[in-house]
Amino acid sequence: MAALAQADMATDSVVQGAQIESADSAIEASAEMSVEEVFAELIAARSTSAKTDTIQKIANSDFPQAQTVLQALQEGELYYTKAKPPVLVFAVNHPDGYSISSALNGEDLGVVGLRDVRKVSINNALRNLLRGLLAEMALRSESVDVRLQAAKNLIRSPAEEYLPAIEKAIANETSDKVLVSLRLAEGMININSDEQTKRLAAIEAFSDTLDSDVMSLLAGMQIQDADGNYQESDEVVRLAAAEVLRDMKAQAQLYKIVENTFFGLSLGSVLLLTAVGLAITFGVMGVINMAHGEMMMLGAYTTYVIQLIMPNYIDYSIIVAIPAAFLVSGLVGIIIERGIIRHLYGRPLETLLATFGVSLILQQAVRSIFSPLNKSVTAPSWLSGSWEINGALSLTYNRLYIIVFSLVVLALLLFVLKKTFVGLQMRAVTQNRAMANSMGIRTGWVDALTFGLGSGIAGIAGVALSQLTNVGPNLGQSYIIDSFMVVVFGGVGNLFGTFFAAMSLGVANKFLEPFAGAVLAKIFVLVFIILFIQWRPRGLFALKGRFVED
């Protein structure tokens, strides 16, 4: 038996030595041969061993398109022409045959018939080889982002043939973030090993992550079949997995609270943008503006039109859309105030009915101009994607920017109201219209500017909403009731109260939704506000003014 074991060890040594020698010779050969010669060798190769040697030469060469060539070979898109001499090409299906381009330099070679080219065939052994080589090439990239994405792909598709490439990358990796993903990919492969030590090491590596796939894997190890047998038969491994899973679930719960808070703040930011303009007009003028939602709709459609005008500058279109939406919605607001609302001051019920009619007119006008169908606004690249903190917490950039944007808008509005002459006049009219009028303030134009300012801010809210949902004629109707709830809850005309109410209602909604559902959560919030107003009719932060006193 001992002699037999020694013979097996000797045989393994010879095989390993032959593989190393073959790889070394491939590297040396690829350094001596030109790319054209290596391609010609691949075309001429018929046996698996010959193709293996040639593939190794391509992988170890300095050819910039080596990874592209091997990727095409793996996906069955690498062909060669039957003309003499044959040329290695990329081929894509075409109605008249294949559209081909040179694998050497990417030159377009036109369209050829089905019988004019032949595919470079590979088998499963070569596919496994290619997967490992492509993984290794991606992990050798100079870009940290490319290496990180390659490591994440290996986590999602663990296979034993990737293990040598992963181990080699771990030894050379300098980025801690990539290193964590590589160790996780290594663990996803080693968890299926027959060796207990490797499986325990894999479970230990899992303790550094909150990846959902890993949690599912560890949970599966605790499952029993109908006979009471665990999926993981090794008790030591199963208990280690259970302990790591318990810690992961505790951390995931904590991050879930953080995520719900973030989504609540983002919802609160949208409510703030939609309600802050309403708070100004309601607080200064006492007008119940049911067309406020349509001002948001106009802002959203302005964003859509700006993108139609600037199709090649999508990343900058939203920056242009913000002032454009403010001007469009603000001017429409001034026209509504001068044409209709100024004749109805002191009659809040009639202003409600009149502005409701205006909202219907604006909706129908938009349907006639843009059609009743929803329009899609393209998000700029810098608003796309998410900031992935870990496997359990990911913050989307569009919502993150909306939170910041709403705070900037609120700060600018406070500056206008507190530090400018127009803001001083607005506050004077809010506190005592008769006294402001007797001091020479043109209260009629203050009302118009106030209504225009509130409508303009609603237009800016429409720009933000266009990044979260489709733009349609009924866009504003989804937020008008919530906007009034925020204004009443925070205190009519009080911007700080509006801010606090918007954020608190947004967070409350997001924490109630998992237990009660979206509809019931809104109902609970509405009932709470009704009961709260019975206790504090002026809201959280009451603003002293003529309408409140009346």
Which two three-digit tokens encode residue 43? 């075309």
Instruction: State the average pLDDT over residues 54-79.
Output: 85
pLDDT value, residue 30: 44
The secondary structure of 502-545, three-state, reads: HHHHHHHHHHHHHHHCHHHHHHHHHHHHHHHHHHCCCCCCCCCC
When mean pLDDT is compared across 113-127, 144-158, 403-417, the lowest value belongs to: 144-158
Could you tell me which residue, 210 or 88, shows the higher pLDDT?
88
pTM equals 0.67
pLDDT value, residue 235: 81
Chain segment 518-537, per-residue pLDDT in tens: 677 777 777 877 777 767 76
Average predicted confidence (pLDDT) for the chain:
80
pLDDT value, residue 481: 80
pLDDT value, residue 301: 94
Instruction: State the average pLDDT over residues 340-346.
Output: 81
**Is the pLDDT score of 46 beyond 80?**
yes
Chain segment 105-149, per-residue pLDDT in tens: 888 888 888 888 888 888 888 887 887 778 778 787 788 888 888
Buried b / exposed e across 177-211, counting CB within 10 Å, b at 16+? Answer: ebbbbbbbbbbbbbbeeeeeebbbbbbebbbbbbb
Q: Are 494 and 280 in contact (CB under 8 A)?
A: no
Instruction: State the average pLDDT over residues 496-505.
Output: 85
Taking every pair of Cα atoms in the chain, the longest distance, rounded to a whole number of angstroms, is: 115
Cα–Cα distance between 289 and 357 in angstroms, integer? Answer: 11
Could you tell me which residue, 296 or 391, shows the higher pLDDT?
296
Cβ-based neighbours of 15, under 8 Å, separated by 6 or more: none
Instruction: State the average pLDDT over residues 223-235.
Output: 73
When mean pLDDT is compared across 144-148, 412-416, 546-550, the lowest value belongs to: 546-550
Instruction: State the average pLDDT over residues 320-326.
Output: 93
- pLDDT band for 460, please (50, 70, 90 cuts): very high
Cα–Cα distance between 144 and 146 in angstroms, integer? Answer: 5
